[in-house]
Amino acid sequence: MRNINEDTITQAVIAAMVDCNNPRLLTIMTSLVQHLHSFAREVALTEAEWEQAIGFLTAVGHITDDKRQEFILLSDTLGLSTLVTAQNNAKPPACTESTVFGPFFVEGAPELSLGADIANGACGEPCYVSGQVRGLDGQPVAGALIDVWQSDEDGHYDVQLPTACGEHEHRARARLCTDGEGRFHFRSILAVPYPIPHDGPVGRMLEALGRHPWRPAHLHFMIVAPGYERLITHVFRDGCTYLDSDAVFGVRSTLVADWVRHEAGPAPDGKRSPVPFYTLQYDFVLNTAAAQEDRA
Protein backbone atom coordinates (compact mmCIF):
# COMPACT_ATOMS: atom_id res chain seq x y z
CA MET A 1 0.00 0.00 0.00
CA ARG A 2 2.80 2.41 -0.83
CA ASN A 3 2.61 5.41 -3.11
CA ILE A 4 -1.18 5.66 -2.96
CA ASN A 5 -2.58 8.52 -5.04
CA GLU A 6 -5.99 9.92 -5.91
CA ASP A 7 -6.45 7.32 -8.63
CA THR A 8 -5.58 4.28 -6.51
CA ILE A 9 -6.84 5.17 -3.02
CA THR A 10 -10.37 3.79 -3.47
CA GLN A 11 -9.30 0.29 -4.44
CA ALA A 12 -6.64 0.34 -1.74
CA VAL A 13 -9.23 1.00 0.97
CA ILE A 14 -11.51 -1.72 -0.41
CA ALA A 15 -8.61 -4.20 -0.55
CA ALA A 16 -7.81 -3.43 3.09
CA MET A 17 -11.19 -4.89 4.08
CA VAL A 18 -10.56 -8.26 2.45
CA ASP A 19 -10.49 -10.10 5.80
CA CYS A 20 -13.89 -8.83 6.93
CA ASN A 21 -15.96 -11.88 7.89
CA ASN A 22 -19.31 -10.08 7.88
CA PRO A 23 -20.63 -10.14 4.27
CA ARG A 24 -23.32 -7.52 4.84
CA LEU A 25 -20.91 -5.14 6.57
CA LEU A 26 -18.43 -5.63 3.74
CA THR A 27 -21.09 -4.85 1.13
CA ILE A 28 -22.15 -1.69 2.94
CA MET A 29 -18.65 -0.41 3.62
CA THR A 30 -17.42 -1.14 0.09
CA SER A 31 -20.29 0.85 -1.39
CA LEU A 32 -19.88 3.62 1.18
CA VAL A 33 -16.20 4.06 0.38
CA GLN A 34 -16.88 4.05 -3.36
CA HIS A 35 -19.65 6.66 -3.09
CA LEU A 36 -17.74 8.89 -0.65
CA HIS A 37 -14.68 8.89 -2.86
CA SER A 38 -16.78 9.51 -5.97
CA PHE A 39 -18.48 12.43 -4.22
CA ALA A 40 -15.14 13.98 -3.26
CA ARG A 41 -13.91 13.64 -6.83
CA GLU A 42 -17.13 14.94 -8.38
CA VAL A 43 -17.20 18.17 -6.36
CA ALA A 44 -13.40 18.52 -6.21
CA LEU A 45 -13.61 18.70 -2.42
CA THR A 46 -11.05 21.06 -0.89
CA GLU A 47 -9.19 20.48 2.35
CA ALA A 48 -10.95 23.48 3.91
CA GLU A 49 -14.35 22.05 2.96
CA TRP A 50 -13.38 18.65 4.32
CA GLU A 51 -12.33 20.24 7.62
CA GLN A 52 -15.61 22.17 7.74
CA ALA A 53 -17.56 18.95 7.21
CA ILE A 54 -15.66 17.22 10.03
CA GLY A 55 -16.39 20.21 12.27
CA PHE A 56 -20.09 20.04 11.36
CA LEU A 57 -20.35 16.34 12.21
CA THR A 58 -18.43 16.93 15.44
CA ALA A 59 -20.91 19.65 16.40
CA VAL A 60 -23.82 17.30 15.61
CA GLY A 61 -22.30 14.78 18.00
CA HIS A 62 -21.63 17.31 20.75
CA ILE A 63 -25.22 18.59 20.85
CA THR A 64 -26.74 15.10 20.83
CA ASP A 65 -27.84 13.75 24.22
CA ASP A 66 -30.65 11.71 25.75
CA LYS A 67 -33.13 14.51 25.03
CA ARG A 68 -31.94 15.63 21.61
CA GLN A 69 -30.90 13.42 18.68
CA GLU A 70 -29.26 15.76 16.20
CA PHE A 71 -28.14 12.91 13.96
CA ILE A 72 -31.77 11.87 13.42
CA LEU A 73 -32.61 15.50 12.61
CA LEU A 74 -29.76 15.51 10.09
CA SER A 75 -30.96 12.26 8.52
CA ASP A 76 -34.54 13.56 8.45
CA THR A 77 -33.73 16.90 6.85
CA LEU A 78 -31.51 15.29 4.19
CA GLY A 79 -34.35 12.96 3.22
CA LEU A 80 -32.38 9.86 4.20
CA SER A 81 -34.90 8.85 6.86
CA THR A 82 -37.76 9.01 4.37
CA LEU A 83 -35.75 7.07 1.76
CA VAL A 84 -34.90 4.26 4.19
CA THR A 85 -38.48 4.18 5.50
CA ALA A 86 -39.94 4.03 2.00
CA GLN A 87 -37.70 1.29 0.67
CA ASN A 88 -38.24 -0.89 3.75
CA ASN A 89 -42.00 -0.43 4.12
CA ALA A 90 -43.60 -1.24 0.78
CA LYS A 91 -47.20 -2.24 1.48
CA PRO A 92 -50.37 -3.10 -0.41
CA PRO A 93 -52.27 0.08 -1.38
CA ALA A 94 -54.99 -0.59 1.20
CA CYS A 95 -52.53 -0.44 4.10
CA THR A 96 -51.78 2.69 6.09
CA GLU A 97 -48.54 4.20 4.86
CA SER A 98 -45.45 4.48 7.03
CA THR A 99 -43.46 7.65 7.51
CA VAL A 100 -40.46 8.85 9.49
CA PHE A 101 -40.02 7.95 13.17
CA GLY A 102 -38.67 11.31 14.28
CA PRO A 103 -36.35 12.01 17.24
CA PHE A 104 -38.92 12.36 20.04
CA PHE A 105 -40.16 8.83 20.69
CA VAL A 106 -39.70 7.71 24.30
CA GLU A 107 -39.66 4.15 25.59
CA GLY A 108 -41.89 3.36 28.55
CA ALA A 109 -44.69 5.85 28.00
CA PRO A 110 -47.51 5.44 30.54
CA GLU A 111 -50.11 2.80 29.68
CA LEU A 112 -53.52 4.43 29.94
CA SER A 113 -57.05 3.17 29.54
CA LEU A 114 -59.15 4.02 26.50
CA GLY A 115 -60.75 7.42 26.87
CA ALA A 116 -57.95 8.77 29.04
CA ASP A 117 -56.63 12.32 28.76
CA ILE A 118 -53.09 11.74 27.52
CA ALA A 119 -52.26 15.47 27.53
CA ASN A 120 -51.52 15.34 31.27
CA GLY A 121 -51.34 19.10 31.47
CA ALA A 122 -49.72 19.82 28.09
CA CYS A 123 -50.97 23.16 26.81
CA GLY A 124 -53.35 23.20 23.86
CA GLU A 125 -56.96 23.21 22.77
CA PRO A 126 -58.81 20.00 23.66
CA CYS A 127 -59.02 17.34 20.98
CA TYR A 128 -60.74 13.96 21.01
CA VAL A 129 -59.17 11.24 18.85
CA SER A 130 -60.82 7.99 17.83
CA GLY A 131 -60.50 5.25 15.24
CA GLN A 132 -60.14 1.58 14.54
CA VAL A 133 -57.21 -0.71 13.75
CA ARG A 134 -57.96 -3.38 11.11
CA GLY A 135 -56.10 -5.92 9.05
CA LEU A 136 -56.06 -6.11 5.26
CA ASP A 137 -59.02 -8.50 5.42
CA GLY A 138 -61.06 -5.83 7.19
CA GLN A 139 -61.10 -7.71 10.47
CA PRO A 140 -60.58 -5.59 13.60
CA VAL A 141 -57.29 -6.02 15.42
CA ALA A 142 -58.11 -6.43 19.10
CA GLY A 143 -55.42 -5.73 21.68
CA ALA A 144 -53.16 -3.77 19.34
CA LEU A 145 -50.68 -1.68 21.33
CA ILE A 146 -50.69 1.96 20.26
CA ASP A 147 -47.97 4.45 21.17
CA VAL A 148 -49.08 8.01 20.48
CA TRP A 149 -47.12 11.23 21.02
CA GLN A 150 -47.26 14.85 19.92
CA SER A 151 -46.02 18.37 20.67
CA ASP A 152 -47.89 20.92 22.77
CA GLU A 153 -49.33 24.13 21.34
CA ASP A 154 -45.94 25.84 21.73
CA GLY A 155 -44.33 23.20 19.51
CA HIS A 156 -42.48 21.41 22.29
CA TYR A 157 -42.44 17.70 23.09
CA ASP A 158 -42.35 16.74 26.75
CA VAL A 159 -38.72 15.59 26.50
CA GLN A 160 -37.71 19.10 25.45
CA LEU A 161 -39.13 20.74 28.55
CA PRO A 162 -37.30 21.22 31.87
CA THR A 163 -38.89 19.66 34.94
CA ALA A 164 -38.82 20.82 38.53
CA CYS A 165 -37.54 17.51 39.88
CA GLY A 166 -35.17 16.85 37.00
CA GLU A 167 -37.06 13.74 35.89
CA HIS A 168 -38.98 13.40 32.65
CA GLU A 169 -42.73 13.91 32.96
CA HIS A 170 -44.83 12.27 30.24
CA ARG A 171 -47.18 14.73 28.57
CA ALA A 172 -49.12 14.37 25.31
CA ARG A 173 -47.72 10.84 25.16
CA ALA A 174 -49.20 7.45 26.10
CA ARG A 175 -49.70 3.79 25.27
CA LEU A 176 -53.18 2.38 24.76
CA CYS A 177 -54.67 -0.96 23.68
CA THR A 178 -57.49 -1.35 21.20
CA ASP A 179 -60.69 -2.98 22.45
CA GLY A 180 -62.27 -6.18 21.17
CA GLU A 181 -63.42 -4.39 18.03
CA GLY A 182 -60.03 -2.86 17.34
CA ARG A 183 -61.26 0.57 18.39
CA PHE A 184 -59.45 3.25 20.36
CA HIS A 185 -60.27 6.68 21.69
CA PHE A 186 -58.51 9.22 23.87
CA ARG A 187 -58.42 12.89 24.69
CA SER A 188 -55.40 15.02 23.86
CA ILE A 189 -54.71 18.48 22.44
CA LEU A 190 -54.92 20.02 18.99
CA ALA A 191 -51.92 19.26 16.79
CA VAL A 192 -50.11 22.39 15.60
CA PRO A 193 -47.19 23.13 13.26
CA TYR A 194 -43.81 23.46 14.91
CA PRO A 195 -40.16 23.92 13.92
CA ILE A 196 -37.71 21.11 14.48
CA PRO A 197 -34.91 22.17 16.84
CA HIS A 198 -32.91 24.61 14.75
CA ASP A 199 -30.56 26.23 17.25
CA GLY A 200 -27.80 23.75 16.43
CA PRO A 201 -25.74 22.62 13.44
CA VAL A 202 -28.73 21.19 11.52
CA GLY A 203 -30.56 24.49 11.92
CA ARG A 204 -27.55 26.38 10.64
CA MET A 205 -27.36 24.01 7.68
CA LEU A 206 -31.02 24.64 6.83
CA GLU A 207 -30.52 28.40 7.05
CA ALA A 208 -27.49 28.24 4.77
CA LEU A 209 -29.55 26.24 2.26
CA GLY A 210 -32.46 28.69 2.35
CA ARG A 211 -34.76 26.12 3.95
CA HIS A 212 -37.21 26.51 6.83
CA PRO A 213 -37.35 24.15 9.84
CA TRP A 214 -41.14 23.76 10.08
CA ARG A 215 -43.21 20.59 10.23
CA PRO A 216 -46.96 20.51 9.55
CA ALA A 217 -49.29 19.67 12.45
CA HIS A 218 -49.43 15.94 13.15
CA LEU A 219 -49.85 13.12 15.64
CA HIS A 220 -47.30 10.31 15.85
CA PHE A 221 -48.49 6.71 16.03
CA MET A 222 -46.68 3.41 16.45
CA ILE A 223 -48.93 0.34 16.36
CA VAL A 224 -47.80 -3.18 17.23
CA ALA A 225 -49.93 -6.34 17.13
CA PRO A 226 -49.08 -10.06 16.87
CA GLY A 227 -49.24 -11.32 13.29
CA TYR A 228 -48.90 -7.84 11.79
CA GLU A 229 -46.08 -5.56 10.70
CA ARG A 230 -45.24 -2.77 13.10
CA LEU A 231 -46.61 0.51 11.78
CA ILE A 232 -44.80 3.81 12.40
CA THR A 233 -46.66 6.75 10.96
CA HIS A 234 -48.14 10.23 11.46
CA VAL A 235 -51.61 11.63 10.90
CA PHE A 236 -51.37 15.15 9.49
CA ARG A 237 -53.85 17.99 9.97
CA ASP A 238 -55.47 19.05 6.73
CA GLY A 239 -55.09 22.69 5.72
CA CYS A 240 -51.76 23.14 7.47
CA THR A 241 -49.36 25.60 5.86
CA TYR A 242 -46.40 23.21 5.72
CA LEU A 243 -47.99 20.10 4.21
CA ASP A 244 -46.17 20.75 0.94
CA SER A 245 -42.87 21.83 2.48
CA ASP A 246 -42.34 19.54 5.47
CA ALA A 247 -38.76 20.01 6.66
CA VAL A 248 -38.33 16.23 6.97
CA PHE A 249 -40.30 15.17 3.86
CA GLY A 250 -42.71 12.97 5.84
CA VAL A 251 -46.13 13.90 4.43
CA ARG A 252 -48.24 11.35 2.53
CA SER A 253 -51.62 12.37 1.08
CA THR A 254 -53.27 9.29 2.59
CA LEU A 255 -52.17 10.40 6.05
CA VAL A 256 -53.85 13.82 5.88
CA ALA A 257 -57.11 14.05 7.84
CA ASP A 258 -59.65 16.60 9.07
CA TRP A 259 -59.57 17.94 12.58
CA VAL A 260 -63.18 19.07 13.03
CA ARG A 261 -63.86 22.09 15.26
CA HIS A 262 -66.86 22.07 17.57
CA GLU A 263 -68.30 24.85 19.70
CA ALA A 264 -68.48 24.46 23.46
CA GLY A 265 -71.03 21.86 24.44
CA PRO A 266 -71.40 18.08 24.66
CA ALA A 267 -68.08 16.33 24.02
CA PRO A 268 -67.43 12.77 22.78
CA ASP A 269 -66.67 11.60 26.32
CA GLY A 270 -70.22 12.42 27.40
CA LYS A 271 -69.17 15.47 29.39
CA ARG A 272 -69.82 19.10 28.56
CA SER A 273 -66.84 21.05 27.28
CA PRO A 274 -66.83 24.67 28.45
CA VAL A 275 -64.58 25.64 25.52
CA PRO A 276 -64.51 24.82 21.81
CA PHE A 277 -62.84 21.50 21.00
CA TYR A 278 -61.72 19.40 18.04
CA THR A 279 -62.29 15.81 16.97
CA LEU A 280 -60.18 13.55 14.79
CA GLN A 281 -61.34 10.19 13.47
CA TYR A 282 -58.78 8.04 11.67
CA ASP A 283 -58.60 4.30 10.99
CA PHE A 284 -55.40 2.30 10.50
CA VAL A 285 -54.95 -0.78 8.31
CA LEU A 286 -52.00 -3.05 9.17
CA ASN A 287 -50.05 -5.28 6.81
CA THR A 288 -49.56 -8.91 7.75
CA ALA A 289 -46.24 -9.99 9.23
CA ALA A 290 -45.96 -12.70 6.55
CA ALA A 291 -45.65 -9.98 3.91
CA GLN A 292 -42.66 -8.54 5.71
CA GLU A 293 -41.04 -11.96 5.97
CA ASP A 294 -41.55 -12.53 2.23
CA ARG A 295 -39.66 -9.28 1.46
CA ALA A 296 -36.81 -10.32 3.73
Q: What is the spatial distance between Cα 151 and Cα 257, in angstroms, rounded to a whole number? A: 17
Task: Give me the percent of the chain exceeding a pLDDT of 70.
Answer: 96
Q: What pLDDT was estimated at residue 2?
A: 86
29 and 75 belong to one structural domain: no
27 and 75 belong to one structural domain: no
Residue 240 is part of which domain span?
70-295
106 and 174 belong to one structural domain: yes
Q: What is the pTM of this model?
A: 0.91
pLDDT band at 292 (very low <50, low <70, confident <90, very high): low
pLDDT tens-digit map of 204-256: 999 999 999 999 999 999 999 999 999 999 999 999 999 999 999 999 999 99
Q: What pLDDT was estimated at residue 290?
A: 75
pLDDT tens-digit map of 266-285: 999 999 999 999 999 999 99
171 and 285 belong to one structural domain: yes
Average pLDDT over residues 58-87: 95
Q: What CATH number does residue 166 fall under?
A: 2.60.130.10
Q: What pLDDT was estimated at residue 167?
A: 66
Number of domains in the chain: 2
41 and 87 belong to one structural domain: no
Q: What pLDDT was estimated at residue 4?
A: 94
19 and 117 belong to one structural domain: no
pLDDT greater than 90 at residue 294: no
213 and 85 belong to one structural domain: yes
Query: Does residue 3 lie within any of the structural domains?
Result: no
Query: Does residue 241 lie within any of the structural domains?
Result: yes
